[in-house]
Chains A and B, each alone.
Chain A
Amino acid sequence: MQASRWALMLAMALGAAAAQAKDLVLLNVSYDPTRELYADVNRSFAAQWQAAHPGDRLTIRQSNGGSGKQARAVVDGLPADVVTLALAYDIDAIADHGLLAADWQKRLPDNSSPYTSTIVFLVRKGNPKGIRDWPDLVKPGVQVITPNPKTSGGARWNFLAAWGWALKQPGGDEAKARAYVETLYKHVPVLDTGARGATNTFAQRGVGDVLIAWENEALQARQELGADRFEIVVPSLSILAEPPVAVVDKVAAQHGTQEVAEAYLKFLYTPQGQEIAARHYYRPRDAAVAAKHAAAFPQVRTFTIDQVFGGWRKAQARFFADGGVFDQFKPGTP
Chain B
Amino acid sequence: MRRRILPGFGLSLGYALAYLGLVVLLPLAALAWKASAIGPGQLLHLLAAPRTLAALKLSFGGALLAALADGAIGLLVGWVLVRYRFPGRRLLDALVDLPFALPTAVAGIALTALYAPNGWLGRWLEPHGLKIAYAPAGVLVAMVFVGFPFVVRTLQPVLESLESDVEEAATTLGATRAQTFLRVIAPVLLPTLLTGFALALARAVGEYGSVIFIAGNLPMKSEIAPLLIVQQLEEFDYTGAAALGTAMLLVSLLLLLAVTLLQRWSRRWAEVRA
B220–A192 touching, CB < 8 Å:
no
Please state if A322 and B232 are interface contacts (CB–CB under 8 Å): yes
Q: A193-B212, A205-B112 are in contact. Are A331 and B235 (CB under 8 A)?
A: no
Q: For B221, B234, B235, B237, which residue has the most chain A Cβ atoms within 10 angstroms?
A: B234
Closest to B221 in A: A332
A5 to chain B, nearest CB (A): 19
The contact string, 1 if C-beta is below 8 Å from chain B, for chain A 188-199, is: 111111000100
Interface of A is mostly: loop
Residue A99 CB within 8 A of the other chain: no
**Structural contact, B216 and A191, CB atoms closer than 8 A:** yes
A331 to chain B: which residues have CB within 8 Å? 218-219
Task: Judge whether A192 and B217 touch: CB under 8 Å.
Answer: yes
Asked whether A151 lies within 8 Å of B230 as measured between CB atoms, the reply is: yes
Q: Does chain B have a CB within 8 A of A330?
A: yes
Stretch of B20-28, B80-88, B114-122, B196-204 that contacts chain A: B114-122
A207 to chain B, nearest CB (A): 7
Contact, CB under 8 Å: A322 / B240: yes
A206 near B118 with CB under 8 A, answer: yes
B113 within 8 A of A: yes
Whether the pair B118, A197 counts as a contact (CB closer than 8 A) is: no
Provide the residues of chain B in CB contact with A333, threshold 8 Å. 218, 220-221
User: A332 CA to B133 CA in the complex, in Å?
Assistant: 15
Find out whether the CB atom of A330 lies under 8 angstroms from the CB atom of B231.
no
CA distance A204 to B113 in the complex (A): 8
Are B218 and A151 interface neighbours, CB within 8 A? no
Over the window 203-226 of chain B, the binary record of Cβ atoms lying under 8 Å from chain A Cβ atoms (1 yes, 0 no) is 000000000110011111100000
CA separation between A218 and B118, bound complex, in Å? 22
Take A205-B118, A207-B116 as given contacts and tell me if A191 and B217 are in contact as well, using a CB distance cutoff of 8 Å: yes
Residue A150 CB within 8 A of the other chain = yes
Docked-complex contact A148 and B217, CB < 8 angstroms: yes
Q: How far is the CB of A41 from chain B (nearest CB, A)?
A: 27
Contacting residue for A189 out of B46, B118, B134, B240, CB 8 A: B134
CA distance A323 to B50 in the complex (A): 12
- The answer to whether A193 and B230 have CB atoms under 8 Å apart is yes
Q: How far is the CA of A322 from the CA of B239 in the complex (A)?
A: 13
Q: What is the size, in residues, of chain B's interface with A at 8 Å between Cβ atoms?
A: 29
Return chain A residues, CB-CB under 8 Å to B217: 148, 190-193
B237: which A residues are within 8 A, CB to CB? 322
| Among B45, B117, B234, contact of A68 (Cβ-Cβ < 8 Å) | B234
Using an 8 Å CB-CB cutoff, how does the interface string of A155-198 with B read, 1 for contact, 0 for none?
A: 00000000000000000000000000000000011111100010
Interface presence of A93 (CB below 8 A): yes
Pairwise interchain contact A330-B230, C-beta atoms closer than 8 A: no
Q: Are A207 and B134 in touch, CB under 8 angstroms?
A: yes
Chain A residues with Cβ below 8 Å from B240 are 322
Determine whether A321 belongs to the interface, using a CB cutoff of 8 Å to chain B: yes
CB neighbours of A322 from chain B (8 A): 46, 232, 235, 237, 240
User: Which residues of the other chain, B, contact A197 by a CB distance below 8 angstroms?
Assistant: 212-213
B230 touches A206 (CB 8 A): no
Q: Of residues 27 to 43 in B, which have CB atoms within 8 Å of A's CB atoms?
A: none
> What is the CA–CA distance of A114 and B95 in the complex, to the nearest angstrom?
50
Does A222 reach chain B (CB closer than 8 Å)?
no
In the bound complex, CA of A93 to CA of B234 (Å): 11
Determine if A255 is an interface residue (Cβ-Cβ < 8 Å).
no
The reply on B236 being an interface residue by CB < 8 A is yes
CB distance from A153 to the nearest CB of B (A): 9
- Which positions in A face B, CB cutoff 8 Å? 68-69, 72, 75, 93, 148, 150-151, 188-193, 197, 204-207, 320-323, 327, 330-333
Q: What are 28 sample pairs from A and B whose C-beta atoms fall under 8 A apart? A: A68-B233, A68-B234, A69-B233, A69-B234, A72-B236, A150-B234, A150-B235, A151-B227, A151-B230, A188-B218, A189-B216, A190-B217, A191-B218, A192-B217, A193-B230, A205-B117, A206-B116, A206-B117, A206-B118, A207-B116, A320-B235, A322-B240, A323-B45, A327-B51, A332-B216, A332-B221, A333-B218, A333-B221
Which residues of B come within 8 Å of A, CB atoms?
45-46, 51, 112-113, 116-119, 133-134, 212-213, 216-221, 227, 230-237, 240
Closest 5 CB pairs of A and B: A205-B116, A332-B218, A206-B118, A191-B217, A150-B231
12 further A-B contacts with Cβ under 8 Å, apart from A148-B231, A150-B235, A190-B216, are A72-B236, A93-B236, A151-B230, A189-B216, A191-B217, A192-B212, A193-B230, A206-B118, A207-B116, A322-B240, A330-B220, A332-B218
